[in-house]
Structure 1
Amino acid sequence: MSSLASRFAGGRDYLAACTLGLPSRATVRAVRDDLDSAASGRPDVAAASRAVEDARAAYARLVHSPVSHVAIGSQTSVMTSLIAASVPDGAEVLCPEGDFASLVAPFAHAARGVRLRTVPLDDLADAICPDTWLVAFSLVQSATGEVADAAGIAAAAARAGARTLCDLTQAAGWLPVDATLFDATVCHAYKWLCCPRGVGFLTVTPEFARILRPVHAGWYSGDDPWSSCYGTGGTLAPDARRFDVSPAWQAFVGAAPALEMFADADITDLYAHTTGLAARFRAGLGLPEPQRPSAIVTWPDATGDALARLTARGVTASGRAGRARVAFHVFNDEGDVDRALRALGTIAPAAAAPALSYSI
């Protein structure tokens, strides 16, 4: 664990990767070097463009997707709205109740008679019916940390002939994911992947891509962006790059080393580390283990008292939907767990969880 954790300058008592990931030393160095070059009158656009492609390739490896299926973006809602724009008039879109607004709102406001139906996450697979055109859900729920039964949902959608869209924003970086299970996925990389804000990715199968309209097409959507800067933009890229938006160059300069770091890491060890810390924390609070292990722990906190106690003791956490929320990532260890429990007035039982040791 220490070799990967050492790539971060901080992280002690920071339990909010589900809100905002911390930049690695390499990301900080890359962004500073880029700023220094620009400030000296030598902005390196070619290097920034290479960083975009390095980031795209690293993300593809991380989520086990062909790189030709990966488009770059900047915001989850914008990437989702691309798909919402192609939902047939009057078709049904099925989502979990309480999922993140950036995934759900584009469909709620698609108009054209598009019908949005929501059900509890655990009922999602069973709720898919022949009228369902698309099932859109977050693999890990932002408000609760619940992990969806991705395989079960994908299988049920396939049986019904429905398409699938999965948001990987709260999953990629600690949970092993396979984007090829779904027709499309979206991910904003500023959380668990520790990238600068403004770096996102869309994966889409060639079959699904054929029915999507490139409503955000611009100069970077061309097969050769530097020759499609004017007029109609010329010929769009033949693969997922046709859905690219113009990249935030500096953000991608910082993202490339972060994504390469996570793509090279042993995700199985990272999963064991993060969920092990979360299990230790749940045991200390007497919370039940979820059906599927999660690196995010939430519990009722309608008054905000728990969050206030954590904050007063220097622990960075978050509150969402009337619940306190903590998250454990690569830069956290058992000490973070136990200090958070002490801040909440709970002494971690010695037998709550075994000592954790991983080779990340």
Structure 2
Amino acid sequence: MESMRQRFDAGSGYLAACTLGLPADVTRDAVRRDLDRWAVGGASAPQYSAMLERARGHAAALLGVEPSRVATGSQVSVFTGLAAASAPRGAEIVCVDGDFSSVVAPFLARGDLRVRHVPLDALADAVTGDTWMVSYSLVQSATGEVADVASVTAAARDAGARVLVDTTQATGWMPTTDLEADLIVCHAYKWLSAPRGAAFAAFSDRALAELTPYAAGWYSGADPWASCYGPALFLADDASRFDVSPAWHAWAGAEAALGFAAALDMHDVRRHDLGLANAFRERLGAAASDSAIVTWADGDGADLAALTAAGITASGRAGRARVAFHVWNDDEDVDRAARALGR
């Protein structure tokens, strides 16, 4: 990972991949080319569609599925909303207490579903024969905790429950190619460092059969250019039936960002990121962890203020200070952040 920092215009002191990623040189250049092309009237819808399909392929590689399993969109909550809208009245949904709203709120908004919230370490045990879906983040946004995927998957499989897993805080720094889930949702603007407005989801056979594409539009057909007008409903046979019309300029950058990430060895990225995160935990006197996100209690915001004053970009969530280490960071960032906190 030593050569990675030069691929980013910034990086030193930037410990906020969990909030907003930094564009690599290829992503920056792709966005600039798109702006220049658009400015002179050279942009076209077919060009953007081709970009989107290449990006779909990269997303599929990052999730370990075929491109036909992947739908593209703009927000995680929209994909979660499709699952919530498709659930039977009164269905039980099991969520993690304090999980990110995008994998919780759509179920609550239905008003006629039974939504239970349990601690992350109790998630697998909370699944019963009455559970219709388990919805959780692989890596928790507020705490950085990593879920025990194997136990949750096994419990859901034994109970016949469906599984929705959000990998927004995971894909990009750790491998996410072996997840058994009916719906895997991810936004690409954090660890994948794409422009905001590019999200994707992977659908299992069960999800393809059971979920309804309530957000269907012209881009939900097998050939979007042949499904621009009614009165017929045009739906693709594969996961692209869940596509929404793409935010073109976001996907111009996302194609490059996802391609950049897909070409990396995620095992190497995880080793690098965890090495830095655990070195920082050691300076704090905390135990090692399996997460690239480091959080600690900071109720008055004093530690976040100290990091900011030292020129470090960090964040605070749910009464905790939060830093994240990624490919553009190195040992100097660990030392700089620790010294800012008097460690």
The Cα of 1:67 is off from its aligned counterpart by: 1.0
Alignment of 1:115 with 2:145, yes or no, is: no
For 2:342 and 2:124, how far apart are their aligned partners in 1?
Answer: 40
Whether the 8 Å contact between 2:27 and 2:256 is mirrored in structure 1 is yes
Whether the 8 Å contact between 1:21 and 1:193 is mirrored in structure 2 is yes
Alignment of 1:338 with 2:322, yes or no, is: no
Q: 1:345 to 1:180 in 2, by over 3 A?
A: closer
Whether the 8 Å contact between 1:179 and 1:203 is mirrored in structure 2 is no
TM-score (norm 2): 0.98
| Partner secondary structure for residue 116 of structure 2 | strand
Q: 1:164 to 1:76 in 2, by over 3 A?
A: same
For 1:4 and 1:209, how far apart are their aligned partners in 2?
Answer: 38
Q: What's 1:260 paired with? A: 259
Q: What's 1:100 paired with? A: 100
**Paired letter, 1:122:** D
Q: Which runs of 4+ in 1 moved over 3 A?
A: none
Q: What's 1:296 paired with? A: 293
Whether the 8 Å contact between 1:219 and 1:233 is mirrored in structure 2 is no
Q: Deviations over 1:192-236 (max 9, x none)?
A: 000000000011112221111110000000110011111145431
**Paired letter, 2:316:** G
For 2:265 and 2:48, how far apart are their aligned partners in 1?
Answer: 27
For 1:250 and 1:207, how far apart are their aligned partners in 2?
Answer: 32
Q: What's 1:353 paired with? A: none
Whether the 8 Å contact between 1:65 and 1:179 is mirrored in structure 2 is no
Q: What's 1:310 paired with? A: 307
The Cα of 1:3 is off from its aligned counterpart by: 3.1
Which sits farther off after the overlay, 217-226 or 43-52?
43-52
For 1:231 and 1:96, how far apart are their aligned partners in 2?
Answer: 41
**Paired letter, 1:278:** A
Whether the 8 Å contact between 1:13 and 1:314 is mirrored in structure 2 is yes
Whether the 8 Å contact between 2:149 and 2:179 is mirrored in structure 1 is no
Alignment of 1:251 with 2:239, yes or no, is: no
For 2:310 and 2:211, how far apart are their aligned partners in 1?
Answer: 49
The size of the alignment, in residue pairs, is 343
Q: What's 2:155 paired with? A: 156
Q: What's 1:355 paired with? A: none
Whether the 8 Å contact between 2:277 and 2:292 is mirrored in structure 1 is yes
For 2:214 and 2:115, how far apart are their aligned partners in 1?
Answer: 21
Q: What's 1:26 paired with? A: 26
Whether the 8 Å contact between 2:61 and 2:177 is mirrored in structure 1 is no
Identity across the alignment (%) = 57
Q: 1:129 to 1:5 in 2, by over 3 A?
A: same
Whether the 8 Å contact between 1:65 and 1:180 is mirrored in structure 2 is no
Q: What's 2:285 paired with? A: 286
For 1:334 and 1:212, how far apart are their aligned partners in 2?
Answer: 46
* Equivalences for residues 1-360 of structure 1 within 5 A: 1-111=1-111, 113-178=112-177, 180-232=179-231, 234-290=233-289, 293-346=290-343
TM-align CA RMSD: 1.0
Q: What's 1:354 paired with? A: none
Q: What's 1:352 paired with? A: none
Question: 5+ residue gaps in structure 1?
Answer: 347-360
TM-score (norm 1): 0.94
